[in-house]
Amino acid sequence: MVCCQNTQGQYGKATLEGYYGKLSKAFMQLIKQSPCSGEGQRHLKIDCANGIGALKLSEMKPYFPQEMVIHIYNDGTKEKLNHLCGADFVKVHQKPPGGLDMKPNERCCSFDGDADRIVYYYKDTAGHFHLIDGDKIATLISIFLKELIVKQDFTMAVVQTAYANGNSTRYLQETLKVPVHCVKTGVKHLHHKAQEFDVGVYFEANGHGTVLFSKTAETKIRQLVKEEKDDEKREAAKMLENMIDLINQTVGDAVSDMLVIEAILALKGLTVQQWDALYADLPNRLLKVQVADRRVIDTTDAERRALTPPGLQEKIDALVKKYKLSRAFVRPSGTEDVVRIYAEADTQENADALAHEVSLAVFHLAGGKGAPPQPI
């Protein structure tokens, strides 16, 4: 709304109806061009974390085209905000939220309580849970946008944090040939870096993110829609123009991100399993250790290496060498006396073991409180 006001309505009308209308119109324009348009309805189950997303999505339902059917769960009428549900719960516990009944291969997603994060997931026929987090969302969006901007000669990059899965970075750089930049944790760092490119895609692994288009790119795209003689190039520009209107460039927005993802899956004719199969995540583990004072830890290299306390980084380096495809880093919490530990390796067992060993190193070298961390 602030952006709509400050741009005298160029970004849209500064009302809820303006928001619903802008997003749904762009979404309809996009799915009209999908190969499976007219082939029945697309169903999506959404866990709204008993938060604001449930209220706004139910208001927005009449704006959606009939092809898109949303089923809202955890709508706030029975349970507490984020209790055993929501994007964070699903990401951390790697399991479906309470209150949502999943059948095999159904597409499901979870918002967080204030609806600025989103993660997708499904269960396969064997009953195994598959999480599709912010890294895979950034990858899907990048594949789609890269194909469209190839013809327009724009610069494009993906911005990640140290928490991004190593295989997502590899896939983006080696298979997609998209430059990847790593910045410190926190949306403001990602947002500022993404502003340096014509098209900047940024997502944290937790599902918080968006896409930014430079003013130059936006002007050129809208111009091409009006003036381009080549049909193929004009269609590509039209798709990009609708994407610009569908993406919320001001802030992470789960509703907008959900519609972007649904549009891309429809346009590319991808199932949730095919999307998940783009690359396999490296097994990983997140832990935290209580310390007397988090300020004893200082980091560098986008928080991937510890400068203090002395000896900690050397210890982490030695531990990482013991496991295949492994890496680990530690960073102090921004709000409490806790040190967060991230580890990944070739197997879940090794990722768990590495995370535990690093947490012990932190406990002994950085002034751990209470009992030493127990093995996972």
- pLDDT one-digit tens code per residue, 204-237: 999 999 999 999 999 999 999 999 899 988 999 9
Task: Give the per-residue pLDDT at 39.
Answer: 64
Domains belonging to the chain, first-starting first, are 2-131 (3.40.120), 135-252 (3.40.120.10), 284-365 (3.30.310.50)
Residue 105 pLDDT > 90, yes or no? Answer: yes
| Residues comprising the chain, all counted | 376
Which whole number is the average pLDDT over 3-21? 94
Average pLDDT of the chain, as a whole number:
95
Q: List C-alpha distances in Å: 360 to 99, 251, 294, 355.
A: 36, 37, 15, 9
Which whole number is the average pLDDT over 271-295? 95
DSSP state of 249: T
The structure tokens listed for 229 are 């003689």
| Beta bridge pairs of residue 120 | 109, 132
In 3D space, the residue among 47, 48, 26, 39 whose CA is nearest the CA of residue 66 turns out to be: 39
CA 249 to chain centre: 14
- pLDDT one-digit tens code per residue, 148-195: 987 778 999 999 999 999 999 999 999 999 999 999 999 999 999 999
Are the C-beta atoms of 134 and 207 separated by less than 8 Å?
Answer: yes
- pLDDT one-digit tens code per residue, 329-364: 999 998 999 999 999 999 999 999 999 999 999 999
Which whole number is the average pLDDT over 62-87? 94
Radius of gyration of the chain measured on its C-alpha atoms: 21
Which whole number is the average pLDDT over 72-76? 96
Residue 142 half-sphere exposure toward CB, CA atoms < 13 A: 29
pTM of the model: 0.94
DSSP state of 140: H
pLDDT band at 37 (very low <50, low <70, confident <90, very high): low
Task: Give the per-residue pLDDT at 304.
Answer: 97
pLDDT band at 36 (very low <50, low <70, confident <90, very high): low
Q: What percent of the chain is modeled with pLDDT above 90? A: 91
Task: Give the per-residue pLDDT at 71.
Answer: 96
pLDDT band at 38 (very low <50, low <70, confident <90, very high): low
Which whole number is the average pLDDT over 3-10? 93
Task: Give the per-residue pLDDT at 276.
Answer: 97
| Beta bridge pairs of residue 211 | 201
First to last CA, the chain: 46
